[in-house]
Chain A
Amino acid sequence: MEILTEVAISAFLVISGVFGLVGSFGLVKLKDTMQRLHAPTKATTLGVGGVLIASMLYFLLVKDKLSFHELLITLFLFLTAPITANFIAKAYMSANIREADVPTTQGEKGWAIYDDPPEPAEQD
């Protein structure tokens, strides 16, 4: 049983380390900013997630303490990663891509990064 917990914790640690390295290496290797947005998501989800699972298992099985802090960090990272990616993509688009190059939204309002926000509705 002892050896099984060690193998499990070590496997999670090694997997997370490899994914963290892959995420950061993709940031160097990929050619375009929009492509580079894709790489760090690996480091966020699998890398940090693996580290947090490994630390939960370690404190539960080796130290006999149950802790839920890790789940909080995982939840926070999973909530904020899409928001930051969306913001970075918007910042890139507003600086580098002209409005004529993107397709229309086919709605009554245009792209949020090029047009002013619509007027707020009248409050009663």
Chain B
Amino acid sequence: MIYMALYFAIGCYGIGLVFNLWRIARGPDAADRILGLDTMVINVIALLILFGILKGTAMYYEAAMLVAMVGFVSTVAYCRFLLRGDIIE
């Protein structure tokens, strides 16, 4: 039963990634694209943890943690570039 639920959740997040990709490709504004990328990072974190449960190892938390940190920093960098025209002033 756990495995069926796991595959269901992995499928949900996979479809979610397709939706995010649609928003990134379509998005009328730069803010929409940043939002799509940010949501994509969230979905990838969830997928990594689900993959870790599927394989039964705790090794993927570090990867998920790194993806979370890099995603946050990249989102802030994009927004600062849009706001001020520069990332580190």
Contacts and interface: CB of A to CB of B under 8 A. Distances in A.
Interface of A: 6-7, 9-11, 13-14, 16-18, 20-21, 23-25, 27-28, 33, 36-37, 39-40, 43-44, 47-48, 51-52, 54-55, 58-59, 62-63, 65, 67, 69-70, 72-73, 76-77, 80, 83-84, 87-92, 94-96, 113
Given A7-B1, A16-B46, 18 more contacts: A13-B5, A14-B8, A16-B9, A17-B5, A24-B39, A25-B16, A33-B31, A55-B53, A59-B58, A70-B49, A72-B65, A73-B49, A87-B79, A88-B75, A91-B34, A91-B78, A95-B29, A96-B31
Nearest to A28: B19
Given A33-B29, A69-B61, A94-B83, A88 B35 contact: yes
Output the residue of A24, A33, A58, A76 with the most chain B CB within 10 A.
A24
Interface of B is mostly: helix
Contact of A17 (B13, B45, B61, B80): B13
Contacts of B34: 88, 91
Interface of B: 1-2, 4-6, 8-13, 15-17, 19-20, 22-23, 28-32, 34-36, 38-39, 42-43, 45-46, 49-50, 52-53, 56, 58, 61-62, 64-65, 68-69, 72, 75-76, 78-80, 82-83
A48 B48 CA distance: 11
Contacts of A21: 12-13, 15-16
Contacts of A88: 31, 34-35, 38, 75, 79
B27 to A, nearest CB: 8
B69 to A, nearest CB: 7
A59 B22 CA distance: 35
A20 B43 contact: yes
B45 A48 contact: yes
A22 to B, nearest CB: 9
